[in-house]
Amino acid sequence: MNNEKRSGFTGKIGFVLAAAGSAVGLGNIWRFPYLAAKYGGGIFLLVYILLAVTFGFTLMIAEIALGRKTGLSAIGAFKSLNKKYSFLGYLAALIPAIILPYYSVIGGWVTKYLYEFIAGGAGETAKDAFFGGFISQTGEPVMWFMIFLGVTALIVLCGVEKGIEKVSKFMMPVLVVLSMFIAIYSVCMPGAMAGVKYYIMPDFSKFSATTVLAAMGQLFYSMSLAMGIMITYGSYMKKEVSLESSVTQIELFDTGIAFLAGLMIIPAVFVFSGGTPEALGKGPSLMFVTLPKVFESMAGGTYIGILFFLLVLLAALTSSISLMETVVSILCDKLKIGRKLSCLIVFLISVALGLLSSLGYGIWAEVKIIGLQFLDFFDFISNSVLMPIVAFFTCIFVGYVIKPKAIADEVELSGKFKRKALFTFVIKYLAPVCIVLILVSSVLDAFGIFKI
Ligand code: TRP
């Protein structure tokens, strides 16, 4: 369509890094390790990797190709190919709006930790009670959340994404090197081997449908799939850049950082708290409780900690900026309003929803929806319910409405499609069936109707 008018990525490296920049964020460093710890270690890792090379590969190729084929972002792309499916674009667009507020709450926690490390409070953060004490307060976590969200909004308002792209190109390699260094240090601590074993060796007795659902939700989240983002990225991609190998590289990058984050955190759980089920099942607080202890035990750990939290903060910011940008640009287009007003609306809605998530750990701890605190509830609704639904309909759309050949033709514009058979099989049969089974069992499980 209007391909000439869209500003494009210059080449393959630019495209891969930009997509990886969106993908790599708190999902990899904060969310992946706590899920892996909670859902059985090695078995979660194995299921995740299997899903990444089948589901993840298929969906990412489909989304990027849809974007490149139509030259449009999610809502327009589905609509232009089949009017009946425009609802899918809207549904996909709702997801970033749900994620942004609670993402910013976590981003606020990271900012607070960076501040503590700079201000000399690193030792305090390593104490067991520090994290729980911090998030259960009213004013402080809300303040850090507002700072994080405010900075995100300012950058989106000023539209300096170009600069951000440059920053993340430089930042990502540093993050990889630093993560490797911390992971090696963690693994070499006395007593860490039990943790490494737990993380790497699958224990099949820990396998259940919840493991698969959690891994699938994490896959969508981490790779920014099933929410229209990759469609938008694809619309900026040049026709001659190889789609298939770009997807492979983005996946390797994203999974590599998540794997390293697990290696930094899980062995340390064994060293400092023993590998007890309570220690492993800590959930969202795992990174914040464990890593400061690692830094404390390290010579020069305060400086490593500052650098680490700074990089995590920047990775989180690049992600929150693109989350917000997505919502803002949709509002601008659909409501025909200006950028400033649209930013303000998204900011205010996010403040309201984020407040629920933040106070849900403090004064509103008693308020629960289907047994979950607000933050966990928003996380559950977006990752375990909406994203599988969007992924399911995307598979139906590609598999039966426009047909896999339409995607394959797009991929083949830039070379051979080596995994075409795998792609066709997964998108038509394997993915839709599995997604429905897992979604149904998990929702029943959440409402306590049926325990797996
Ligand atoms: N993938 C990002 C992460 O791992 C989070 C994320 C989800 C995201 N959806 C997004 C980032 C959309 C940018 C745009 O942290």
Q: What is the mean pLDDT of residues 336-348?
A: 92
With cut-offs at 50, 70 and 90, classify the pLDDT of residue 1. very low
Per residue in 105-139, pLDDT (tens digit) is 999 999 999 999 999 999 999 998 999 999 999 99
Q: Kindly report the pTM of this predicted structure.
A: 0.90
**CA gap 223, 257 in Å, rounded:** 12
Test site for ligand 1: of 104, 319, 324, 384, most ligand atoms within 8 A of the Cβ: 319
pLDDT of 163 > 80? The answer is no
171 lines ligand 1 (CB under 6 A): no
Do 269 and 37 form a contact (C-beta atoms < 8 A)?
yes
Split at pLDDT 50, 70, 90, the class of 197 is: very high
- pLDDT bin (cut points 50, 70, 90) of residue 4 is very low
Q: Tell which CATH classification among 1.20.1740, 1.10.10, 2.20.28, 1.10.4160 matches the domain 2-446.
A: 1.10.4160
Q: What is the overall mean pLDDT for the chain?
A: 89
> Considering the chain, what percentage of its residues have pLDDT values greater than 90?
61
Task: Give the Å distances, CA to CA, from 371 to 61, 377, 446.
Answer: 36, 9, 8
pLDDT at position 161 is 63
For helices 42-51 and 209-222, give the axis angle rounded to 10 degrees.
60
State the closest ligand 1 atom to the C-alpha of 28, by its place in the atom list counted from 1. 4
pLDDT-based confidence at residue 440 (cuts at 50, 70, 90): confident
4, 88, 150 from 114: Cα distances, Å: 43, 39, 17
Instruction: State the pLDDT at residue 2.
Output: 42
Residue with tokens 């099942």: 281
Residue nearest atom 14 in ligand 1 by C-alpha distance = 323
**What distance in angstroms lies between residue 161's CA and the mean position of ligand 1's atoms?**
15
pLDDT band at 6 (very low <50, low <70, confident <90, very high): low
- What is residue 451's predicted lDDT score, i.e. its pLDDT? 45
Residue range 229-251: mean pLDDT, rounded? 90
Indicate whether 324 pLDDT > 50: yes
Calculate how far, in angstroms, residue 225's C-alpha sits from the geometric centre of ligand 1.
8
Q: Is 248 in the pocket of ligand 1 (CB under 6 A)?
A: no
Give the Å distances, CA to CA, from 7 to 18, 71, 114.
14, 11, 35
The DSSP string of 229-257 is HHHHHHHTS-TTS-HHHHHHHHHHHHHHH
Which one of 99, 110, 218, 346 would you pick to mutate in the ligand 1 pocket, going by the greatest count of ligand atoms within 8 A of its CB?
99
Map out the domains of the chain as residue ranges.
2-446
Cα 157 to ligand 1 centre (Å): 19
Residue-wise pLDDT for 348-402, tens only, equals 999 999 999 999 888 888 888 877 888 888 988 898 889 999 999 999 999 999 9
Structure token pair of residue 310? 């700074």
How do residues 298-308 score in pLDDT, each as one tens digit? 888 999 999 99
Q: What is the mean pLDDT of residues 263-267?
A: 95
Q: What is the pLDDT of residue 164?
A: 67
pLDDT of residue 213: 83
